Structure 1
């Protein structure tokens, strides 16, 4: 659990670099104004999903797949609700939002899968 947490903190710092570089190079208009709020949202959701699945797998090995599917479904629903609320409040800047959202969604989902697969391999080796 600690290894995945440290990896996720490093990963989060790495995915924050491209938007920071864009901002410092004077291209902040390419980012959605709420990018850092989305970043925090995805950080929180990914932390909860990974933590829940890893903790659940440690408690009961047979529940790992069900926990992963349930956590992923809840994450997807939370993301859809987030998108609906944001686009309802600020429909004028939707293209920048979509690019920012999918950048964060895809890289965080990729990390989730990678982290959870590494955890599964570790458990299979025991």
Structure 2
């Protein structure tokens, strides 16, 4: 979980510096809500993966697949709520959300691969 917090912190610093330097053409104002959302989802996924490792390693695949589906459903709900509320500059919102989704998914897969290789 510490790696997720550090990655979010570094990404937040980079986004903050981009906004302050005027390089925020494609950075949507709701990026901070997106960052908080993905940090919360990462925390939830981290806890579920710990349960999958501790309780029953044979059910690890089911835990992992359930976290993928959970992230997808929570992401659809998040995007749906913001689009329903009438967020402005929708292309930038969708692009930023998709970029963060790919970043956190790749980060999760990298961390999972690292843990599985260590435990093999």
| Alignment TM-score > 0.5, same fold | yes
> Does residue 76 in structure 1 map to residue 61 in structure 2?
no
Which residue of structure 2 aligns with residue 53 of structure 1?
49
Question: Whose relative contact order is higher, 1 or 2, with alpha carbons under 8 Å and at least 6 apart?
Answer: 1
CA distance in 1, matches of 2:103, 2:37: 14
Unaligned ranges ≥5, structure 2 = none
Task: Give 4+ residue runs of structure 1 displaced > 4 Å after superposition.
Answer: none
Shift of 1:61: 0.9
Runs of 5+ consecutive residues of structure 1 not aligned to the other structure: none
CA distances 1:16-38 after superposition (whole Å, capped 9, x unpaired): 23311211102445321211011
More helix by share: 1
Deviation string, structure 1 residues 56-115 (Cα, Å, up to 9, x no partner) = 212211111100001110110110111111112125310110121012111101111111
Tell me how many residue pairs correspond in the alignment. Answer: 120
TM-score by length of structure 1 reads 0.86
Name the counterpart of 2:104.
108
1:7 is displaced (CA, Å) by 1.6
